Structure 1
Amino acid sequence: MYNPRYFREERLEVLHALMRDHPLATVVTNAHGHLEANHIPLFLVADKGRRGVLRAHINRNNNMAVDHDPACEVLAIFQGPMHYITPSWYTTKVEGGKAVPTWNYATVHVHGRLRTTENPRWLREHVTALTNLVEAKRPQPWQAESAPVSFMKGQIKGIIGLEIAITRIEGKWKLSQNRPESYRSRVIEGLTAESDPVMAELMAKAVE
């Protein structure tokens, strides 16, 4: 992706944090010469390999893994916080209206090699780990153990496990770092007024 240096985020722990907070990724594969995209929750195992490993599962009727060319890498795109930036937040009479709209966002692109597994134990452990991740912030987290054992066994028979060994990872935090401080301050004020404290905080940290 186009990624000027002032937007690049290269700290692995920061990239991993966004991936955990926004696990639903767009996974792009090469299927018989054309690109195919699937939207899949990915679970990060950070301490495996140099950059980590991603684990997931898909329905058996999804031919993504079967159609994918194993000689090609896959691309997983994690979309973090984003917000439209209106010129009305920062234009002044002095600027003479010379401003255009834009979007601020944070995203992580992960490249890696894909393999599949049908091991029931692997699948059960993966589903449990993914469920615990996304349920952790709920007041009363649901657990995979809450479902009947026979039901879960049937569900697991209907899925295939995926593992993506990360070969390259790239982060882009487009947060107005290339703009004057006065511009950024006004945008942060606008985001706060529109009740987007997450993006406002990201912008504030990006220029500290």
Structure 2
Amino acid sequence: MYNSKPHQEHDLGRLHQHMLDTRLAVLISHGEQGLLATHLPVLLDTAEGEFGTVYAHLARANRQWHDLEQGAEALLVFPGADAYVSPSYYPSKADNPKVVPTWNYLAVHAYGAAQVIHEPAPLLQIVSRLTDRHEQGRSQPWQVADAPADYLDGMLRAIVGIRLPIARLQGARKLSQNRSAEDLAGVRDGLAASTDYLDNQLAAQMRHL
């Protein structure tokens, strides 16, 4: 992705945390079937590989996995909070009206060659780990083992697993770092005063700049 230098994020811990906080990623690939994209929950194992490894599963009827199995490079997009930035947030506008709107946002892109998993045992492990992650915190968490075994076997035959060791990570943290300290504070305060939750999230991120 295009990402100018002031907005590049290279801290691996921060990149990983963003990925862990993203509940739904977008898997993008290009192969014989053209450009394909699937929205899916993913599981990041930060201890596996230099940049981590992502696990997920696709419906067997989703032909994207055929391209992945042929070795097509995949891109996983982890979107974050975003916000419209009005020129009215800039105190400097009073002296210099040459300002235009922009957009602030957080995003991480992960690249790698995916491995497709058909075997029931590792598939069950992926599904179980994903479920446990999203059930945690509930007073009575549901477990995959709660489903009847024969039903579960049928469900596993209807999916394929994805294992994607991350070869490259890109992080975008566009939070008005290219503006003066006065303008940056104006954007932060403007977003904090907004009634939009995503605006408030970005304002909170800007407090750590």
Describe how 1:1-208 pairs up with structure 2 within 5 A: 1-32=1-32, 34-68=34-68, 70-90=70-90, 94-138=94-138, 141-195=141-195, 196=197, 197-205=200-208, 207=209
Report Cα offsets for 1:182-205 as digits up to 9, x if no partner: 111111111111144321111121
Report Cα offsets for 1:57-110 as digits up to 9, x if no partner: 011100101134734311111101111112222256623532211111111111
Gaps of 5+ in 2: none
* 1:203 partner letter: M
Residues of 2 paired with 1:79 and 1:108: CA distance? 7
Asked whether the equivalents of residues 71 and 114 of structure 2 are also in contact (C-alpha less than 8 Å), the reply is: no
TM-score by length of structure 2 reads 0.89
Asked whether the equivalents of residues 52 and 165 of structure 1 are also in contact (C-alpha less than 8 Å), the reply is: yes
Residues of 2 paired with 1:168 and 1:93: CA distance? 39
Residues of 1 paired with 2:166 and 2:30: CA distance? 17
Asked whether the equivalents of residues 60 and 158 of structure 2 are also in contact (C-alpha less than 8 Å), the reply is: yes
CA RMSD of aligned residues (A): 2.0
1:138 Cα deviation after fit: 4.8
Which is worse superposed, 38-47 or 137-146? 137-146
Gaps of 5+ in 1: none
Report Cα offsets for 1:106-141 as digits up to 9, x if no partner: 111111011111121211111121122223355654
Asked whether the equivalents of residues 10 and 170 of structure 1 are also in contact (C-alpha less than 8 Å), the reply is: yes
Residues of 2 paired with 1:69 and 1:31: CA distance? 10
Asked whether the equivalents of residues 91 and 99 of structure 1 are also in contact (C-alpha less than 8 Å), the reply is: no
Q: Percent identity?
A: 35
Q: What is the aligned length?
A: 206
TM-score by length of structure 1 reads 0.89
1:169 Cα deviation after fit: 0.7
User: Does the residue aligned with 2:28 lie in a helix, a strand or coil?
Assistant: strand
